Amino acid sequence: MDDFKKLTEQLLKIYINAGSVNNLGIENYFDENISLIGTGKHELFTNLHEFLESFKFDVKRRGKIRLEVRNLHQEEERLDDDHVLAHGTVDFTGLFKDGSICFKMETRFTIIYKWTNGKWMVQHLHHSTPDLEQMDGEEFPLALGKQVKKTRQALHALGTAYYHISRLNLKTKKIELVKRSREMDMGIKENTVDWDPQFKIIEDISCKN
């Protein structure tokens, strides 16, 4: 078969319809020494055995969720007489028994098909999902990094406010530095502080009361 898109469709159909760990069928498409990278951090396999052990667990955990493959787009490039590079995009949708959507995944893939023992087998497969935090035109998710920095600054500001408030001692009618409940480098020495006008006002009010 030289229709590689149809071959990929068959492979995906086997993958989504696997309902039993005893009769997967997907091993008929994979070379023994396949290298496979999936969408999960742990999905890095260097041979068929490693992948099947993980895939069997996935089939069991899948339970009653039904998978659908949609919008398969693929292009191919022949590398030599025995190798073909296929790459493209495909969407996965997980459905509950009542038809409601469990998840959607927009994915990209790269496959190297190798002619082995009279048929085309998958020698390498890389399956990935785009980083949704990465904005259009960005090489890296820089916008997310800036947002995280702002959040950290906001949290630090909240911690600073709490730290100063804790210095108001109603018994002595003074504002003083107390023991820290957590480490926070504010550049303030223990039991000393340079008062600004706002703290002076608070001190005056507490003394009147």
The pTM for the full model equals 0.62
Q: Residue 161: pLDDT above 60?
A: no
What rounded mean pLDDT belongs to the chain?
77
pLDDT for 69: 93
pLDDT for 97: 87
- Give the residue carrying structure tokens 């785009």: 130
Mean pLDDT of 22-26: 72
At 39-76, the pLDDT tens digits run 888 899 999 999 988 888 888 877 788 899 999 999 99
Higher confidence at residue 145 or residue 120?
Answer: 120
Percent of the residues in the chain that have a pLDDT greater than 70, as a whole number: 59
Higher confidence at residue 76 or residue 170?
Answer: 76
| Half-sphere exposure in the Cβ direction for 125 (13 Å, CA) | 22
Q: Each residue of 189-199: b (16+ CB within 10 Å) or e? A: eeeeeeeeeee
pLDDT for 147: 64
| Closest to 94 (Cα-Cα) out of 133, 39, 134, 48 | 39
Q: CB neighbours of 133 closer than 8 A, spacing ≥ 6?
A: 141, 143, 144
pLDDT for 162: 46
Nearest-angstrom CA–CA distance, 165 and 92? 52
